[in-house]
């Protein structure tokens, strides 16, 4: 028998456990997903409410530590500004047409409804210490829409500013009264003929706001018409 070269034994392959019937093969585990992101923090802040936003409250709602929030928002002011931007962007705003009076009234009503839906929002808009990007964009959009309806730049800014100021200040005032901050005993000191209208105003703040807005917008209309009359005809 001839001598043959020795063949090294083959290395046995590791035994694999067969997959169980009906069970998918395991997939490689990905890295741990982040606990929260900026969008989740903003949503949590809105859910907590503008009148109660604190880093503690938002962290508790998310079930994380406060330090986790600061990886995405540096300060409370930044958090509030982001939440304000989110609700302003998602609000239902009127589309400009040919009737600027109807447009301003609809925009004012949209603002009032936004403030009513988010208690504390009007106060945050009024006292913001950082730029509110979406609010600035909405103000700009409204004023540009008025330019397209024949307003000059100064009158457009004045009209939009009037609507924002009136809605914001009256929303804040209505919340103060609802909280009992403004006692109504002073109504009895008015002339008897004035008491019923004042009580009506206090009882229905939105209706009263819309009536005041109509009065202000009608004043704008008279101003615009007078200015158009005073301008010399071309040619």
CATH, residue 80: 1.10.10.60
* DSSP assigned state of 189: G
- Domain assignment present for 164: yes
Residues 182 and 121 in one domain: yes
Q: How far apart are the C-alpha atoms of 15 and 146, rounded to whole Å?
A: 77
Query: For residue 12, what are its two tokens?
Result: 């046995």
CB 61 within 8 A of CB 48: yes
CATH code of the domain covering residue 130: 1.10.357.10
List the one residue out of 59, 69, 84, 190 whose CA is nearest residue 136. 84
Q: pTM value?
A: 0.78
Residues 165 and 71 in one domain: no
- Domain assignment present for 196: yes
- In degrees, rounded to 5, the angle at the alpha carbon of residue 165 between the alpha carbons of residues 163 and 167 is 65
Residues 78 and 101 in one domain: no
- In degrees, rounded to 5, the angle at the alpha carbon of residue 41 between the alpha carbons of residues 40 and 46 is 100
Handedness of CA 89, 94, 95, 98 (dihedral sign): negative
Residues 179 and 140 in one domain: yes
Q: Among 52, 84, 116, where does a domain finish?
A: 84
CB 50 within 8 A of CB 172: no
> Per-residue confidence of the chain (235 residues) as pLDDT tens digits?
444 445 455 555 545 555 455 555 444 444 444 568 999 999 999 999 999 999 999 999 999 999 999 999 999 999 999 999 999 999 999 999 999 999 999 999 999 999 999 999 999 999 999 999 999 999 999 999 999 999 999 999 999 999 999 999 999 999 888 887 666 678 889 999 999 988 888 888 899 999 999 999 998 888 777 776 766 655 4
Q: Among 84, 116, 140, where does a domain finish?
A: 84
End-to-end CA distance of the chain: 125
Residues 75 and 108 in one domain: no
Query: For residue 216, what are its two tokens?
Result: 């202000």
- Domain assignment present for 22: no
Residues 135 and 176 in one domain: yes
Residues 187 and 124 in one domain: yes
Q: How far apart are the C-alpha atoms of 167 and 141, rounded to whole Å?
A: 17
* DSSP assigned state of 65: -
Query: For residue 45, what are its two tokens?
Result: 């802040």
Q: Among 84, 109, 142, where does a domain finish?
A: 84
- Domain assignment present for 6: no
- Domain assignment present for 10: no
CB 212 within 8 A of CB 200: no
Cα 210 to Cα 82, 144, 173, 215, 223: the distances in Å are 29, 23, 15, 9, 20
**Which structural domain range is residue 201 located in?**
94-230
- Domain assignment present for 19: no
- Domain assignment present for 69: yes
Q: Sort 157 into a burial class: Cβ within 10 Å, 0-12 / 13-18 / 19+.
A: middle
Residues 178 and 138 in one domain: yes
Residues 51 and 153 in one domain: no
Q: How many domains are there within the chain? A: 2
List the one residue out of 167, 172, 173, 51 whose CA is nearest residue 111. 167
- Domain assignment present for 13: no
């Amino acid at each position: 028998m001839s001598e043959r070269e020795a063949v090294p034994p083959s290395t046995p392959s590791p035994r694999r456990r067969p997959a169980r019937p009906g069970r998918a093969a395991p997939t490689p585990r990905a890295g741990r997903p982040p606990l929260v992101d900026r969008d989740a923090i903003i949503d949590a802040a809105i859910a907590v409410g503008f009148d109660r936003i604190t880093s503690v409250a938002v962290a508790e709602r998310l079930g994380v530590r406060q330090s986790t929030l600061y990886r995405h928002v540096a300060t409370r002011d930044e958090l509030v500004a982001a939440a304000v931007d989110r609700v302003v962007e998602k609000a239902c705003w009127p589309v400009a047409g040919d009737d600027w009076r109807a447009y301003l009234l609809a925009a004012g009503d949209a603002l009032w409804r936004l403030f009513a839906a988010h208690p504390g929002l009007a106060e945050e808009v009024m006292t913001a210490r950082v730029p509110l990007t979406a609010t600035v964009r909405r103000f700009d959009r409204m004023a540009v829409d008025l330019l397209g309806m024949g307003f000059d730049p100064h009158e457009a800014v004045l009209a939009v500013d009037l609507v924002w100021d009136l809605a914001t200040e009256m929303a804040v005032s209505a919340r103060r009264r609802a909280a009992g901050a403004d006692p109504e005993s002073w109504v009895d000191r008015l002339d008897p003929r004035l008491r019923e209208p004042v009580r009506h105003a206090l009882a229905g703040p939105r209706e009263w706001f819309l009536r005041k807005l109509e009065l202000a917008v009608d004043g704008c209309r008279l101003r615009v018409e007078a200015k158009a009359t005073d301008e010399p005809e071309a040619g």
